[in-house]
Amino acid sequence: MITRRYFLRASAIAAAGFGAAPSWLLRAAAQGESKWKILVAVFQRGAADGLNIVVPFFEKRYFELRPSIAVPAPGKNNGAIDLDGRFGLHPSLQLLKPFWDNGLLAIVHASGSPDPNRSHFEAQDYMESGTPGTVAEDGWLNRALPPATPNTSPVRAIAAGAKMPRTLRGNRGAVVVNDLEQFKVRNPSVAAIIEDLYATTTDAQLMAQGKGTFEAVK
């Protein structure tokens, strides 16, 4: 079981991970309520067919233009899940229906980048940087973070995966980690060197974070 203290401290030096969504992320989120609001952003890199995720089954042209790939209307075999008599969810998204029913799910339909670029990769970069037509060095989510203070948590922004996504790249700190339970400095001599480097820094905030991190993971 990961303690909240371990989670906050050890993540400060998390550098990389790999694989699917980590189990520790779900458990950490369930450990207790926080006074802070949490934003979870999921970027589907393989792209997604919005018209088959939220199906405009009220529109006849949808079926006329998609004779072989349209999701059937509600009530038919493998049909869409009716939301409001006009739109429906893809049948594989049944788990989202209760959130809609309870007013916890909002859908922004037919939205996208104003840039007409036809390159999937460039369009992806524009979306992550939040600058249509120009790829910025930082991401929109990093720019949205408030400036750090001496009391700012080192894990106010976390990317779960193998590398830092463009969305979170920038001057406002974020960490990327896959499995916190497996995260550790495996070589004791390397750990000692890093710990000594933290101890000799003239940055009081960095020294405190480094000391707290190694205390937590020992």
* 126 contacts 135 by C-beta, under 8 angstroms: yes
Question: Does residue 191 sit in helix, strand or coil?
Answer: helix
**Helix (H), strand (E) at residue 24:** helix 23-29
Provide the pLDDT for residue 149: 65
Handedness of CA 69, 75, 77, 82 (dihedral sign): positive
pLDDT, one tens digit per residue, over 34-77 is: 566 778 888 887 777 899 999 999 999 999 999 999 999 999 99
d(CA 11, CA 203): 19
Handedness of CA 207, 208, 213, 214 (dihedral sign): positive
Most confident of 35-39, 147-151, 164-168, 188-192: 164-168
pLDDT, one tens digit per residue, over 201-216 is: 777 666 665 665 565 5
Provide the pLDDT for residue 11: 41
Look up residue 35 and give its two tokens: 């006074």
Q: Taking 80 as the threshold, does the pLDDT of residue 80 lie above it?
A: yes
* 63 contacts 88 by C-beta, under 8 angstroms: no
What is the average pLDDT across 93-119? 89
* Residue 142 vs residue 218, higher pLDDT: 142
What is the average pLDDT across 118-128? 88
The CA distances from residue 131 to 7, 19, 31, 119, 140, in Å, are 33, 29, 36, 15, 8
pLDDT band at 7 (very low <50, low <70, confident <90, very high): very low
Q: What are 175's strand-pairing partners? A: 158
Query: What are the extents of the domains in the chain?
Result: 1-32+118-183, 57-101, 184-218
Helix axes 188-200, 204-217, angle to 10 degrees: 150
Q: Taking 90 as the threshold, does the pLDDT of residue 96 lie above it?
A: yes
The CA distances from residue 98 to 1, 93, 94, 103, 154, in Å, are 30, 10, 8, 9, 34
Mean pLDDT value across the chain: 77
Q: Taking 80 as the threshold, does the pLDDT of residue 156 lie above it?
A: no
What is the average pLDDT across 179-197? 68
Provide the pLDDT for residue 53: 94
* Residue 37 vs residue 14, higher pLDDT: 37
Look up residue 164 and give its two tokens: 């830092």
What is the average pLDDT across 136-160? 80
pLDDT, one tens digit per residue, over 162-187 is: 788 899 998 887 877 776 666 566 66
**DSSP of 197-214:** HHHH-S-HHHHHHHHHHH
